[in-house]
Structure 1
Amino acid sequence: MNKFFLKETYAFRYWLIASLILIPIVQGVRIIQPWLFKLAIDVGEGTSYGMNLIQLCYALLLLIFVNHIFQYIQSYISAFAGAKIILSIRKKLYKHLMDLPYGTFARLKSGQIIVRLSSDVESIGNALSGVLIRVISDILAIIMILVVLLTINFRLALYIVIGIPILIFITGKISEKIRVGMTITKKILSQMTSFFAETIQGFEIIKSFEKEKETQESFHGLSRKFTDEFHKLNLFEPSYYSFVEFSSSFLLACLIYDGGTQILEKSLQFGELVAVITYVQRIMHPIRHLSGMLHQVLNAYTSMQRIYTIFEEKTEKDIISGDEKSLDSYSIEFKNVEFSYGEENILKGVSFKIEAGQKVAIVGRTGAGKSTIIKLINRFYLINKGEILIGGVNIDSISRQSLRSSIGLVLQDVFLYAGSILDNLTLFDETRVQKAKSFCNKLLERGLFNEQNIIKNVGQNGDNFSIGEKQLIAFGRVFIKDAEIFLLDEATSNIDVKTEGFLEKELHQFIENKTAIIIAHRLSTIRNVDKIIVMKDGQVVETGKYSELIEKKGEFFEYFKSQYKDMA
């Protein structure tokens, strides 16, 4: 994990190195300022250094101006590097997410992914640039000030030398408590984000079943849980900051007492005491800073762990076996395939073969495993046992690009992107625009769409379009893609007769010479296919043509009995 994030930082090393080079300059200028205070007091008391009080004041103002200039440049450089690091991590994380198998997304919650891509990446970027630079700067400041203090007065410097290890020890103890607390709060925050995302997606159901109160109570429960955990963190952080402030005040009191005693003993000058007190105030500033940045560092470390769990997920390229191969034939064969989403097998030794160019229907009751077969052909999941062959090639050896580009998939639930109809038909592929326009013209000619439908923007998930209109767009995507394998998963169940008539005509022409699998519950949809595969409880129980299965009066006949009577 650490190697990955250090590698991301190393990619922008020149910006970070430039910022690091400025650290000793900025801190050196700040170190000189209290020494000028001492010189000014000494001059006021009659000591001569070759400079009068006005000249010393001018020198002090110049140092303050130079310090601000270099500090601004350093802040700009580190902020720029941080933005670049955030961009790089976010791009790689998003690409990795896009390369993950479908099954991984079924397991991960949307809220978790959103938090990883947003706040987690931000906290890491800030830590690897701004916080990292500030930590180095503050540590260098502490070391430089300690050296100067030891030079001015060894006895007074011992107060700081003894105090800092005590602060470091206490910081280590508290940081572990804060780290555990940060992990818990981030986990709850992900749960809240996921819950809110689900609420938006299911808002229609919540309203129709009057579940607003229950939903609010569930969300408030998570909010209270988050608040309680956050309050536990507050028990540690403010108490630690208060301890640092108390230590600073107590230390100053000790220095003033001991320094005053040394002045009376003539072993210390007043200007030196003022310089020591100023340096101690200056050294407490980076110590307070480090304690304040403790929260950010631990927050970033927790975010690193959470993001790296995503990077540890294997991509589709990682899990296929052997050399990647392309397709030149489009038969589909299942050989004794077993598959489960959990412990119970969904498919139990499923075997069948569909020749290239055949049109096959798969039927069966709900839960028989029909849609699972469609997902396995797309390699959304890996099988537990057996073998799936496309064109005689094991599906695990086919390149993802070759496999997916050869398949046109239409699902019952259609997702539409925000944008135009053309965007959703072409899926933002400029090479398909002309085909998309031709399809839109067909819809206009058949009266299935009007001009207003074509030009209006698609709302969130296409909520401003009817289910039938969404299905037309889904079919249009596949027609335009013109893939060699066509998969239809119960996509005609929610469309009217007019739309179904149009699609049947288009499908008849479209699937000519294509390998097609159709999952449907309507007899009218599957009556003219080359072969019907009947499934029950995850197994193939019957195979044959429509007329053969009707005459057999087996599982297929019983399943479609009511429809058959209506159509007979």
Structure 2
Amino acid sequence: MFSELDRANISWFWHEYLKSKTPWLFLVLGMITVQGIVYQQFLALTEDGLRVIFESGALSDLVRVCGIVFALFTTRAVMSYLIPRLSVWLASGAVMKMRRDLIDHLMTLDLAFFERTQSGELILRLVNQAEGLSQFVGQATVNAVRDAATILIVSGYLIYKSPLLFTAALIILPTILLLLQHVSSTIKQIQATAENALGAYMTGIDEMSSGMRTVKIAGQEPVERARLVRATDQIRNISIRLQSAQALVMPAIDMMAAFVYVLVIGGGGWMVLSGDFGLDGAGIIAYLLGLALIFDPARTLASFFAKLQANLILLDGIRSLYRETPSITDAPDAHEAFDRAGDIALEDVTFCYDSDHPLFDTLSMRFDGGKVTAIVGATGSGKTTVLSLLTRLYDAQGGQVTIGGTRIDRLKIRALRSSFSVVAQDIVIFNSSLADNIRYVRPDATDAQVRAAAEAAEIAELMEARGDKPLGPKGSQLSGGQKQRIAIARAFLRESPILLLDEATSALDQKTEDKVKRALNRLSEGKTTLIVAHRLSAITHADWIYVLDAGRVVEQGTHADLLAQEGLYAGMYGAQKQSYG
């Protein structure tokens, strides 16, 4: 029923999140045992009560039995209140710690992981699967332990009363085990399919929400509706298959229970009539009642094992995130000190995203400290990848990248990245105030420092006008230029010695671009500045310009030098100048 992977996952969850709570778990187990003993005592008292009715007829004895039974079930009721409260507290605490560990682990993973992983998959694991696991551990598992304890304690009592009858009842056990084996394998396959479908559905919702502007303008609401409806139909069909597989368990056990009841009534009745087995009418009635107390928890226990297979898929889905390991980490001898104002160099760098399609082959570039260097080229030529290699979002697969003569893979990642400020075309804006968005890169900044950064980026007036109002999901209430100036304000606040500008003005109109350019010129003063741009008018002032084509440097020089060469750069510049008219 459990594969090697299942056992490993269960062992991991136990040792990481439950083992430390062992004293509390023993307390829960003790209360569960009390509940089982209540049922066993109830059977014994029921048998005594029946004998009082059938034989002695003493009213005082009957009242005593009834009083004890009421006290027993009152005890069970108290346990029934305390056990769920305690078990849910334990389970939710364990899952909260697991979620916190997952978030910590996710923060260590490389950019490549997030670029290849759908957002719906992460939401599924961190939200749905973690919550489902919490409910299963805190409720279903505890109920299953309670049912198992009831079965064991009551079965022990029934064996004591008549080993022969109980042995006869066990003939259905192999059938139950075979049924559970068949159903469990089916459920695991369906549940895995269901989780994949749900993850794809969540990703579809995220894509639809993020791209709603395009959807509306293109009039593609029917297409999006049809796509999401197809996904919901698939989830519904899978859910029906899953419920159908789980539904086999209950009626099968009911039929087996009926067989056992008939066997006990017939065989037990014969044993009572013969008088040779020490059973009387009260004993056989109590025995039948005991079987009823066993079969009800047996049904729910069997259902638990069916659901367990589905939750093992959830557990594996969550743990699968831990199998992702970061490839970009601090070297054992990594240090923090380096010349942040020094020259930056790529020396014979080799890199590819896909082994079948190499991007850089022995690429060499140099960016002088304190100077402005620009990188231009067609889409896909590798401009942004150069910035990713400098910041170690990716590692070069050959050659080396240095700052001030120090290899960046010998520096601590946090120290390296703290040396950069980035202003990109696609800037992340959070649904909080404008001031909070600026402060994001430096949480300890004072209000005065945030104000100064906003003034330098020419967005202080808007910050004051909006006050504490949130900016909407992904900054939906801002224009492109306003988002860019928030990014510039962040860079002013961060005060890093190296500035990376990645298509920082490409999506702006002329008036807004002029305003952003003024802020960028102030920002780049005294800094080593790298500019990636399509719009060549934005980099004519650069001290040096590299022209990339298909991952190779095909031209380099100043703006005047490159125009004089009448090569690729001159052609691009002329075409753009003509298009701007």
TM-score, with structure 1 as normaliser: 0.94
Name the CA distance, whole Å, in 1 between partners of 2:154 and 2:347.
Answer: 75
SS at match of 1:81: helix
Partner of 2:336: 326
Q: Which residue identity is paired with 1:45?
A: F
Instruction: Tell whether the 8 Å contact from 1:16 to 1:77 is kept in structure 2 after alignment.
Output: no
Name the CA distance, whole Å, in 2 between partners of 1:501 and 1:204.
Answer: 26
Partner of 1:187: 196
Q: Which moved more, 1:214-223 or 1:432-441?
A: 432-441
Percent identity between the two aligned chains: 24
Partner of 2:4: none
Q: Which moved more, 1:392-401 or 1:419-428?
A: 392-401
Partner of 1:434: 448
Q: Which of 463, 467, 472 lines up with 2:480 in the alignment? A: 467
Q: Which residue identity is paired with 2:105?
A: H
Name the CA distance, whole Å, in 2 between partners of 1:369 and 1:434.
Answer: 39
Change (3 A) 1:48 1:565: closer
CA shift at 1:360, angstroms? 0.4
Name the CA distance, whole Å, in 2 between partners of 1:251 and 1:450.
Answer: 77
Q: Which residue identity is paired with 1:315?
A: P
Name the CA distance, whole Å, in 1 between partners of 2:327 and 2:110.
Answer: 5
CA shift at 1:567, angstroms? 10
Instruction: Tell whether the 8 Å contact from 2:333 to 2:410 is kept in structure 1 after alignment.
Output: yes
CA shift at 1:542, angstroms? 1.5
Counterparts of residues 273-284 of structure 1 (less than 5 Å) = 273-284=284-295
CA shift at 1:22, angstroms? 1.8
Q: Confirm whether residue 205 of structure 1 aligns to residue 218 of structure 2.
A: no
Q: Confirm whether residue 288 of structure 1 aligns to residue 296 of structure 2.
A: no
Instruction: Tell whether the 8 Å contact from 2:457 to 2:486 is kept in structure 1 after alignment.
Output: no
Instruction: Tell whether the 8 Å contact from 2:488 to 2:519 is kept in structure 1 after alignment.
Output: no
Instruction: Tell whether the 8 Å contact from 1:18 to 1:77 is kept in structure 2 after alignment.
Output: no
Name the CA distance, whole Å, in 1 between partners of 2:502 and 2:27.
Answer: 58
Partner of 2:13: 5
Q: Which residue identity is paired with 2:444?
A: E
Q: How many residues were matched structurally?
A: 566
SS at match of 2:462: coil
SS at match of 1:493: coil
Partner of 1:166: 175
Name the CA distance, whole Å, in 2 between partners of 1:168 and 1:142.
Answer: 16
Instruction: Tell whether the 8 Å contact from 1:36 to 1:60 is kept in structure 2 after alignment.
Output: yes
Instruction: Tell whether the 8 Å contact from 1:339 to 1:385 is kept in structure 2 after alignment.
Output: yes
Q: Which residue identity is paired with 2:451?
A: K
Q: Which of 331, 339, 350 lines up with 1:338 in the alignment? A: 350
CA shift at 1:274, angstroms? 1.4
Name the CA distance, whole Å, in 1 between partners of 2:31 and 2:543.
Answer: 76
Partner of 2:129: 120
CA shift at 1:188, angstroms? 0.8
Instruction: Tell whether the 8 Å contact from 2:480 to 2:507 is kept in structure 1 after alignment.
Output: yes
Partner of 2:316: 305
Deviation sequence 1:89-117 (CA, Å, 0-9, x none): 11111111121111100000000000000
Name the CA distance, whole Å, in 2 between partners of 1:207 and 1:226.
Answer: 26
Partner of 1:27: 36
TM-score, with structure 2 as normaliser: 0.92
Partner of 1:418: 431
CA shift at 1:324, angstroms? 2.2
Deviation sequence 1:392-446 (CA, Å, 0-9, x none): 23222322211221111111112210110011001171325322122334567x8
Q: Which of 368, 374, 388 lines up with 2:381 in the alignment? A: 368
Instruction: Tell whether the 8 Å contact from 2:349 to 2:362 is kept in structure 1 after alignment.
Output: yes
Deviation sequence 1:338-372 (CA, Å, 0-9, x none): 22222212223211111322210001112111111
Name the CA distance, whole Å, in 1 between partners of 2:347 and 2:421.
Answer: 23
SS at match of 1:63: helix
Q: Which moved more, 1:478-487 or 1:554-563?
A: 554-563
Name the CA distance, whole Å, in 1 between partners of 2:68 and 2:357.
Answer: 80
Q: Confirm whether residue 395 of structure 1 aligns to residue 404 of structure 2.
A: no
Instruction: Tell whether the 8 Å contact from 1:33 to 1:60 is kept in structure 2 after alignment.
Output: yes
Partner of 1:504: 517
Name the CA distance, whole Å, in 2 between partners of 1:500 and 1:283.
Answer: 77
**RMSD of Structure 2 on Structure 1 (CA):** 2.3
CA shift at 1:566, angstroms? 8.9
Name the CA distance, whole Å, in 1 between partners of 2:273 and 2:44.
Answer: 22
Name the CA distance, whole Å, in 2 between partners of 1:341 and 1:454.
Answer: 43
Q: Which residue identity is paired with 2:346?
A: F
Change (3 A) 1:542 1:435: same
CA shift at 1:43, angstroms? 1.1
Change (3 A) 1:103 1:432: farther
Change (3 A) 1:440 1:132: same
